[in-house]
Structure 1
Amino acid sequence: MKYLIILGDGMADWPNEALDNKTPLAYANIPNMDRIARVGRSGMLKTVKDGFEPGSDIANLSVLGYDPALYYTGRGALEAVSMGIDLDEDDIAYRCNLVTVTDGVMRDFSAGHITSEEGAALLSALDAALPDVSLYPGVSYRNLLVVPAGAGAETTPPHDIVDEEIAEHLPEGGDASLLAECVRVSREVFADHPVNQKRIAEGKVPATQIWPWSGGKKPQLPSFEERYGVRGAMISAVDLLNGIARCAGMDVVTVPGATGYLDTDYMAKARYAVRALETADFVYMHVEAPDEAGHLGSAEEKVLAIERLDEAVSYILDHVEGVIALLPDHPTPLALKTHTSDPVPFAVMGLGTDDVDSYSEDAAEKGSFGLMDALDFIPMLTAKRE
Structure 2
Amino acid sequence: MKYVIILGDGMADEPIKELNNQTPLQYANKPMMDSLAKLGEVGRVYTIPKGMSPGSDTANLAVLGYDPNIYYSGRSPLEAVSMGVELLDSDVTFRCNLVTLSYEGDYEEKIILDHSADEISTEEARVLIKAVNEHFKSKDIEFYPGISYRHLMVWHKGTDEFDLTPPHDILGKSIKDHLPKGSQKDIIYNMMKESYNFLSIHPINIERIKKGLRPANSIWIWGEGRKPKFPLFEEKYGLKGSVISAVDLIKGIGICAGLKSIDVEGATGNIHTNFEGKAMAAINELKRGQDFVYVHVEAPDECGHRNELENKVKSIELLDEKVVKTIVRELDALGEDYKIMILPDHPTPLRLRTHTDDPVPYLIYRKNKEVPNLEQKYDEISTMHSNNCFTKGYELIDYFFKK
Deviation at residue 149 of structure 1 after TM alignment: 0.8
Match of 1:130 in 2: 136
Matched AA of 1:116: T
* C-alpha distance in structure 1 between counterparts of 2:137 and 2:225, whole Å: 20
- Which residues of 2 match residues 210-359 of structure 1 at below 5 A? 210-278=219-287, 279-312=289-322, 313-320=324-331, 321-350=337-366, 353=371, 355=373, 357-359=376-378
Post-superposition Cα deviations, 1:139-161, rounded to whole Å, max 9, x if no partner, equal: 11000111111111211110010
1:109-148 → structure 2 map (5 Å cutoff): 109-132=115-138, 133-148=141-156
**DSSP-derived class of the 2:151 partner:** strand
| One-letter identity of the residue aligned with 1:337 | R
Distance 1:253 1:369 in 2: 32
1:14 partner SS:
coil
TM-score of the superposition, structure 2-length normalised? 0.93
Alignment of 1:191-202 (within 5 A): 191-202=200-211
Give the structure 1 partner of residue 379 of structure 2: 360
Per-residue deviation at 1:191? 2.4
Q: What amino acid is the match of 1:213?
A: W
Q: Give the CA deviation at 1:88.
A: 1.4
Which residue matches 1:99? 99
* Alpha-carbon distance in structure 2 between the residues aligned to 1:277 and 1:345: 26
Matched-pair contact (CA < 8 Å) for 1:42–1:354: no
C-alpha displacement of 1:188? 1.9
Give me the whole-angstrom Cα distance separating, in 1, the residues matched to 2:399 and 2:23: 28
1:211-242 residue CA offsets vs partner (Å, 9 max, x unmatched) = 01111011001000000111111000010000
Structure 2 gap ranges (5+): 105-109, 332-336
Equivalent AA in structure 2 for residue 89 of structure 1: D
Q: Distance in 2 between matches of 1:247 and 1:258?
A: 21
User: 1:353 deviation in Å?
Assistant: 2.6
Q: What secondary structure, in the 3-state scheme, does the structure 1 residue paired with 2:18 have?
A: helix
Greater mean alpha carbon deviation, residues 231-240 or residues 200-209: 200-209
Which SS does the other structure have where 1:212 is aligned?
strand
Is 1:166 the counterpart of 2:175? The answer is yes
Task: Render the CA deviation track for 1:364-386: whole Å, top value 9, x for unaligned.
Answer: 12235234421111111122x6x
Asked if structure 2 preserves the Cα contact closer than 8 Å seen for 1:354 and 1:367, the reply is no
Which whole-Å deviations, capped at 9, do the CAs of 1:93-138 have from their partners, x for residues lacking one? 1010000111310011011111111111111111111133101111
Name whichever of 345-354 and 223-232 sits farther off. Answer: 345-354
User: 2:370 aligned with 1:379, yes or no?
Assistant: no
Superposed, which structure 2 residues align to 1:174-213 within 5 Å?
174-213=183-222
> How far apart, CA to CA, are the structure 2 residues paired with 1:259 and 1:131?
28
Q: Which residue is 1:149 aligned to?
A: 157
Structure 2 letter corresponding to 1:331: P
Instruction: Name the SS of the counterpart of 1:277 in structure 2.
Output: helix
The alignment covers a number of residue pairs equal to: 384
Deviation of 1:19 (Å): 0.6
Once the two structures are overlaid, the 10-residue window that deviates more, 334-343 or 317-326, is 317-326
CA RMSD of aligned residues (A): 1.3
The verdict on how the C-alpha distance between 1:52 and 1:354 changes in structure 2, with shifts beyond 3 A counting, is: farther
Contact 2:390 2:396 in 1 (8 A): no
Structure 1 counterpart of 2:334: none
Distance 1:69 1:352 in 2: 35
CA distance in 1, matches of 2:194, 2:356: 33
Letter in 2 for 1:315: T
Flag the 1:174–1:71 CA change in 2: closer, same or farther, 3 A: farther
1:28 aligns to 2:28 (yes or no): yes
Please report how far the alpha carbon of residue 358 of structure 1 lies from its aligned counterpart in structure 2 after TM superposition: 1.2
Give the letter aligned to residue 298 of structure 2: E
Partner amino acid, structure 2, of 1:222: P
Distance 2:38 2:168 in 1: 35
Q: What is the distance in 2 between the residues matched to 1:365 and 1:354?
A: 18
Shift of 1:288: 0.2
1:81–1:246 CA contact under 8 A, matched in 2: yes
Q: Structure 1: which 4+ aligned runs deviate by more than 3 Å? A: none
